[in-house]
Structure 1
Amino acid sequence: MTSELEHVAPDVETLAQRLASADYLVDEGLATALFLSLRLPQPLLLEGEAGVGKTEAAKALATVLDTPLIRLQCYDGIDAGEALYEWNYPRQLLSIRLAEANDTALTEDALFGPEYLVARPLLRALQHPGPRPAVLLIDEIDRADDDFEAFLLELLAEAAVTIPELGTIHATHPPVIVLTSNRTRDLHDAVKRRCLYQWIDYPDARREVEIVRRRVRGASESLAVQVVAAVAKMRDGDVQKPPGIAEAIDWLKALELLGVDTLDAAAIGRTLGSVLKYSEDQDVVRATGLESLV
């Protein structure tokens, strides 16, 4: 596995170039964090505002590695059944009935064997056959609770999980683990100690223009510049949910589809829902004056 990753990412600069070829532009700090995560190897925790490209980093990394992206979307109340595994109870019940019909014995060990196990994202990532490791994206971990964070510690530290009926399962090809957080709450120190850490901030205007134009092929540079400038003004305003790069891309796509060549107050008014997803924020911007965004 090490030789495979060395071939793909022999150094930070090569990894950055290959990510750029997958239309994901990185600065030196993020490129270095991704490189170290691959080569140490060690899980990587990405934090930042919503829409700055944390999830896209994992997707681009999977593209560069030419390996599956296995995504676990966290939410309040998520548990091992959704994240790791569950038993196929209908199949177990069928086996019990067949054993009774044939008057044969069915031991508990047989009933709780691997063939009755339904693998969820974490287990699928550990069992990935290779030759390159899968990229395991644990998305928005801040939405889960403290108990789920504690549940993840074994996976993060040892690339292994323990299933009571089967014992500890170790990964043959330990996955590349990327965790993301919008920082709606602080994560436990035990999680952070097991991870590399990188904060992703909004890029400067020039880089953001390049990013949105890569994602909206055919968009004019002048319109992309106007969109990025308007989005920056929204972020500096009093909106509760500042628009991220993802919203800038959505907005540019909408304007291109409508045939808008130049951003003006009328075009902004027609498409404001593409960039601001809360009515309260739209009200704030409209009260300030749409002309101020031009």
Structure 2
Amino acid sequence: MPESAELPRAESIDSVIELLSQHDYLAGRSLATVVFLALRMQRPLFLEGEAGVGKTEVAKVLAKALDRPLIRLQCYEGLDVASAVYEWNYPAQMLEIRMAEASGVSDRGRLEGDIFSERYLIRRPVLQALSGEPGKAPVFLIDELDRTDEAFEAFLLEVLSDFQVTIPEFGTVKAAEPPIVIVTSNRTREVHDALKRRCLYHWVDYPSAADELAIIRRKVAGCNEQLSRQIVAYVQRLRTIDLFKNPGIAESIDWATALTELDRLALDPETIGDTLGTLLKYQEDIARIQGGEGQAVLAAVKAELLAAS
């Protein structure tokens, strides 16, 4: 098993849970286990789940906890090698060619070697991630991979299996120490098996009510206990309704923060109606909850909390 500089700070599953908790990320044991194994085995970690459940945050927190640079490749439709991996500084190369011609340089091989050198190479996120120093290899976040196409996925296979990339004019660039790679997907489409096989996999689900309450207590310190419990119970019930987009934990935190800023102590129909835009992001969902269905949810939440008290 290869040695890894982060192991002293992540020497067990429990230490991973504690490490993430110190930076306000409450990880369940199954997630902490796969993070621990990804660090020990130096394998990419593929996190899949609904938007807003905390997949991206895992990479951000790991970078802080392990004191590593965070390099983020935000994926989108049409992402290509020039934007993600590298490109050449063409204006500077053209200037070099003209200066060489003006000075009478006729050795084309030498000129080609000069213009396709490190000096003119522009490193994009993938190359930056492979250029970390031993002991300080970055956390490399490939965020929302499902937004790209299969051609870009195929390109990443070399990066994720061998931690290297081949540049035709320059050669192969291999990481001195593998970066800590976190790949996320919202599952808007299926990612190919060939890429998943190179990674450890974990499905990040919505948190339980107890976990969500603990997260809000930690993330929104000014939110009073009664309001926190009502928010969690309300959001948990919303996720059982067939909405266009269920609220994630990120939206729960935003809603708790908004209600705290408004000095609210409890949920009521008017407050919910005025602030639903922080919780739901589609007008169809907002209109549905602002109607009678939202009032029914609130009534059920209050009855549930009263019975539990």
Q: CA deviation at 1:76?
A: 0.9
Q: CA deviation at 1:233?
A: 1.6
Q: CA deviation at 1:37?
A: 0.5
1:27 paired to 2:28: yes
Contact preservation (8 Å) 1:65, 1:132: no
Q: CA deviation at 1:263?
A: 1.1
Instruction: Give structure 1 stretches of 5+ with no counterpart.
Output: none
What per-residue deviation string (whole Å, max 9, x for no partner) do you get for residues 178-234 of structure 1?
A: 100111111111011111000011111011011122222222222111111111121
TM-score scaled by length of structure 2: 0.92
Q: CA deviation at 1:103?
A: 3.1
1:256 paired to 2:267: no
Moved more, 46-55 or 1-10: 1-10
Q: Distance in 2 between matches of 1:87 and 1:51?
A: 36
Q: Distance in 2 between matches of 1:235 and 1:22?
A: 27
Q: Distance in 2 between matches of 1:4 and 1:128?
A: 13
Q: Which residue in the other structure is 2:76 paired with?
A: 75
Q: Which residue in the other structure is 1:213 paired with?
A: 217
Q: Which residue in the other structure is 2:285 paired with?
A: 281
1:244 paired to 2:248: yes
What SS is found at the alignment partner of 1:187? Answer: coil
Instruction: Give structure 2 stretches of 5+ with no counterpart.
Output: 299-309
Q: Which residue in the other structure is 2:91 paired with?
A: 90
Q: Distance in 1 between matches of 2:133 and 2:49?
A: 32
The match for 1:109 among 113, 116, 123 is 113
Q: Which residue in the other structure is 2:188 paired with?
A: 184
The match for 1:158 among 147, 156, 162 is 162
Structure 2 counterparts to residues 196-211 of structure 1, below 5 A:
196-211=200-215
Runs of 4 or more off by more than 6 Å in structure 1? Answer: none
1:146 paired to 2:150: yes
Q: Which residue in the other structure is 1:121 paired with?
A: 125
The match for 1:224 among 211, 228, 237 is 228
Q: Which residue in the other structure is 2:275 paired with?
A: 271
Q: Distance in 2 between matches of 1:111 and 1:3?
A: 36
Q: CA deviation at 1:149?
A: 0.6
Q: CA deviation at 1:3?
A: 4.6
The alignment's C-alpha RMSD in Å is: 1.3
Q: Which residue in the other structure is 2:137 paired with?
A: 133
Contact preservation (8 Å) 1:238, 1:284: no
What is the one-letter code of the residue matched to 1:28?
R
TM-score scaled by length of structure 1: 0.96
Question: How many residues are treated as equivalent by the alignment?
Answer: 294
Q: Cα gap change, 1:138/1:3 in structure 2, threshold over 3 Å: closer, same or farther?
A: closer
What SS is found at the alignment partner of 1:108? Answer: helix
What per-residue deviation string (whole Å, max 9, x for no partner) do you get for residues 106-144 of structure 1?
A: 611111111101100010000012423211000011111
Tell me which structure has the larger Cα radius of gyration: 2
Contact preservation (8 Å) 1:67, 1:135: yes
Q: Distance in 2 between matches of 1:14 and 1:271?
A: 38
